[in-house]
């Protein structure tokens, strides 16, 4: 297949691309992202498993952590990726062999070196403060010197698109210097992230007509077009793609490889990684969020938790008949999954879908479906939300089906928070009285680092004698949302708790004007959900 270019020339359509990940360098320039050397090693191994071809490890000499990574990376047994070091062209007025930055790049001992140089005459005169001709010599000298010492040199033409729009002749001279010096790939960079796709199309097309070396693309997301600009560059002949996992990067971030890879592979038929590796995309996205200690963006295309989530009743009804009606790809292709959310927007299809997920057999004519819908609308009007509390929703359905019996009854609880002086830490204590259908009665007290923690400990202490498996339950997340901000401290709150027993995770919800009562509701659902699941699996708890 051929692509028609603006001057009547034709080039072959790109059939495969090389992926160059810069999460460990550009990604760490994001405001909230920081990785230790060991973090970077773990991420490098995951990127290699994904099938990434180049992993940019950092800038040798800029900080001790990056050099430590390059030293430690020699122990990695990578199967797909090459480690690349990043730096700049030599300084003005000295030879490449004498330049400290160049020496540190070689000291990294990696097979690939990527250097950036100035393409925008404004940067040459105002940032470097040297002549335009000296900048050209810096590019040529740096690339040619490095090429004599390492197998592969990649040249990043920094600010190329801005430079081309201001002075196209000079911008082209800079990349031609890199090509003549022996650069293995010339990467056109939208460093300020201000270009739009039609500009990228025009400029990459013109460069492709004058440069024979392989072209790459490196974009930033300041105009929310980094992914689109990257895809357009590949459409116009770029065969080397730079970006970061989850779009991490300075300011608004870099081009997001989690969107670029499936766009190229699934939509354009361009080979990036194997289909089996593509199924690991969601997993590595969440892994890197975890290492960065950041909450994953649920609405992230392809890999976000909500990317294939359906809430409206009409949507759910159609998806149940044919997922293609509201899903642009099959979620499993990128390791994600379809989800149906329940809310006051839900119809019968949503309730039936969720019931099937829970292993419950309902049909649209069942009166239980209408009962659940009515309960759902009333509860959501009160402030309940079940999108992150599927444990509570399963209990709601089973109560409507009369297939749920409480595992204990509350006889009373009391929570005390005491602070003896301004300097002392507050002390929280909870007392819980419960009875169990088996005939047991317990009164238990516990201290905690807060009233909810104390209440949780006291409740579980009271029940563990009768239900020993509760010892495996841990709370992994606790969220409080104020539902009426105008009411101040008297506002109703929603509490969502996430729990785990080491094998599964579940969420539960409570709503009340009193945050302790809202927390109690969520805690009770969490414990009863665990006991219900144990009973289903084993016949007893």
Where are the strands (E) in 395-450, listed by range?
409-418, 427-435, 441-448
Apex 437 CA angle, 432 and 440, nearest 5:
55
| pLDDT above 60 for 68 | yes
Q: 293 pLDDT band (50/70/90 cuts)? A: confident
Sheet with strand 441-448: strands edge to edge: 409-418, 427-435, 441-448
Alpha carbon distances (Å) from 368 to 355, 395, 463:
11, 13, 31
Task: Give the whole-angstrom CA distance, residue 110 versus residue 112.
Answer: 6
Do 2-291 and 309-400 show the same overall fold?
Answer: no
| pLDDT above 70 for 302 | yes
- Determine contact, residues 519/527, Cβ cutoff 8 Å: no
Q: What is the pLDDT of residues 75-90, one digit of tens each?
A: 999 999 999 999 999 9
Q: 347 pLDDT band (50/70/90 cuts)? A: low
Q: Average pLDDT for residues 457-469, to the nearest whole number?
A: 92
Report residue 350 as tokens: 């949503």
Q: Among 3.90.550.10, 3.40.50.300, 3.20.20.70, 3.40.50.880, name the CATH number for the domain at 2-291.
A: 3.20.20.70
Q: Which of 436, 430, 435 is nearest to 414 (CA)?
A: 430
Q: In sequence order, what are the beta bridge partners of 114?
A: 86, 154
The architecture in CATH of the region 309-400 reads: Orthogonal Bundle (1.10)
What are the CB-based long-range contacts (under 8 Å, 24+) for 306-312? 306/339, 307/331, 307/336, 308/336, 308/337, 308/338, 308/339, 309/338, 309/339, 309/340, 309/341, 310/338, 310/339, 310/340, 310/341, 310/350, 311/340, 311/341, 311/343, 311/345, 311/346, 311/350, 311/387, 312/345
Backbone angles phi, psi at 365, to 5 degrees: -90, -5
Helices and strands, counts by H and E, the chain: 18, 18
- Mean pLDDT over all residues of the chain? 90
Domain locations along the chain: 2-291, 309-400, 409-538
Q: What is the pLDDT of residues 372-401, one digit of tens each?
A: 888 877 887 888 878 778 889 889 888 888
- Return the half-sphere exposure (C-beta side, CA atoms, 13 A cut-off) of residue 393: 31
Q: 8 pLDDT band (50/70/90 cuts)? A: very low
| pLDDT above 80 for 214 | yes
Alpha carbon distances (Å) from 67 to 85, 89, 109, 168:
10, 19, 10, 37
Residue 323 or residue 107, greater confidence: 107
Q: Average pLDDT for residues 216-239, to the nearest whole number?
A: 98
Q: 539 pLDDT band (50/70/90 cuts)? A: low
Look at the pTM and tell me if it is higher than 0.85. Answer: no
The per-residue b/e assignment along 96-107, b for 16 or more CB within 10 angstroms, e otherwise, is beebebbebbbe
Task: Give the whole-angstrom CA distance, residue 309 versus residue 295.
Answer: 18
Q: Which of 230, 291, 288 is nearest to 262 (CA)?
A: 230
Task: Give the whole-angstrom CA distance, residue 121 versus residue 174.
Answer: 10
409-538 is classed CATH 3.30.160.270: yes
What pLDDT does residue 4 have? 45
Task: Give the whole-angstrom CA distance, residue 286 versus residue 295.
Answer: 9
For the ranges 210-219, 243-252, 273-282, 435-444, the lowest mean pLDDT is seen at 435-444
Report residue 462 as tokens: 């009271």
What pLDDT does residue 540 have? 61
Give the three-state DSSP class for 321.
helix
Q: Which of 273, 253, 257, 255 is nearest to 265 (CA)?
A: 273
Within 8 A by CB and 6+ apart from 425, the residues are 419
Report residue 224 as tokens: 């929310």
């Amino acid at each position: 297949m051929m692509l028609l270019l603006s001057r009547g020339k034709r080039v072959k359509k790109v059939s495969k691309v090389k992926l160059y990940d810069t999460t460990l360098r550009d990604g760490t320039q994001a405001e909230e992202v920081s990785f230790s050397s060991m973090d970077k090693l773990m991420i490098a191994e995951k990127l290699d498993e994904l099938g990434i071809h180049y992993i940019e490890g950092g800038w040798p000499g800029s900080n001790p952590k990056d050099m430590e990574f390059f030293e430690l990376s020699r122990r990695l047994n990578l199967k797909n990726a090459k480690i690349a070091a990043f730096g700049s062209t030599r300084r003005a007025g000295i030879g490449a062999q004498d330049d400290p930055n160049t020496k540190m790049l070689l000291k990294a001992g990696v097979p690939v070196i990527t250097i950036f140089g100035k393409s925008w005459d404004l940067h040459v005169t105002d940032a470097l403060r040297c002549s335009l001709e000296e900048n050209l010599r810096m590019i040529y000298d740096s690339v040619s010197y490095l090429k004599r010492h390492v197998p592969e040199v990649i040249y990043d033409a920094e600010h190329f698109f801005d430079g081309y729009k201001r002075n196209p002749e000079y911008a082209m001279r800079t990349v031609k210097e890199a090509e003549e010096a022996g650069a293995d790939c010339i990467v056109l960079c939208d460093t300020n992230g201000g270009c739009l796709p039609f500009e990228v199309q025009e400029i990459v097309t013109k460069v492709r007509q004058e440069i024979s070396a392989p072209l790459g693309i490196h974009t930033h997301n300041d105009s929310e077009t980094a992914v689109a600009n990257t895809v357009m560059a590949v459409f116009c002949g770029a065969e080397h793609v730079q970006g970061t996992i989850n779009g991490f990067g300075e300011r608004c971030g870099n081009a997001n490889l989690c969107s670029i890879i499936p766009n190229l592979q699934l939509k354009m038929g361009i080979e990036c990684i194997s289909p089996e590796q593509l199924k690991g995309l969601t997993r590595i996205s969440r892994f890197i969020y975890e290492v960065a200690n950041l909450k994953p963006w649920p609405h992230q295309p392809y890999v976000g938790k909500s990317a294939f989530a359906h809430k409206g009743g009409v949507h759910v009804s159609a998806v149940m008949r044919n997922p293609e009606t509201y899903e642009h790809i099959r979620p499993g292709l990128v390791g994600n999954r379809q989800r149906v959310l329940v809310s006051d927007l839900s119809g019968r299809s949503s309730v039936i879908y969720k019931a099937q997920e829970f292993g419950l057999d309902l049909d649209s004519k069942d009166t239980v479906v209408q009962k659940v819908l009515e309960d759902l609308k009333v509860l959501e009007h009160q402030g309940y939300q079940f999108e992150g509390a599927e444990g509570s929703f399963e209990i709601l359905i089973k109560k409507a089906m009369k297939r749920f019996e409480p595992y204990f009854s509350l006889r009373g609880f009391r929570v005390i928070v005491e602070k003896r002086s301004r300097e002392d830490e507050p002390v929280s204590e909870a007392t819980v009285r419960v009875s169990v259908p088996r005939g047991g009665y317990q009164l238990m007290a516990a201290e905690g680092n807060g009233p909810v923690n104390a209440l949780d400990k006291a409740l579980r202490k009271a029940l563990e004698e009768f239900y020993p498996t509760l010892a495996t339950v841990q709370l992994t997340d606790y969220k409080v949302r104020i539902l009426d901000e105008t009411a101040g401290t008297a506002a109703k709150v929603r509490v969502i708790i996430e729990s785990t027993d080491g094998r599964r995770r579940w969420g539960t919800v409570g709503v009340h004007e009193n945050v302790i009562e809202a927390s109690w509701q969520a805690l009770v659902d969490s414990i009863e959900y665990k006991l219900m699941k144990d009973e289903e699996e084993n016949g007893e708890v």
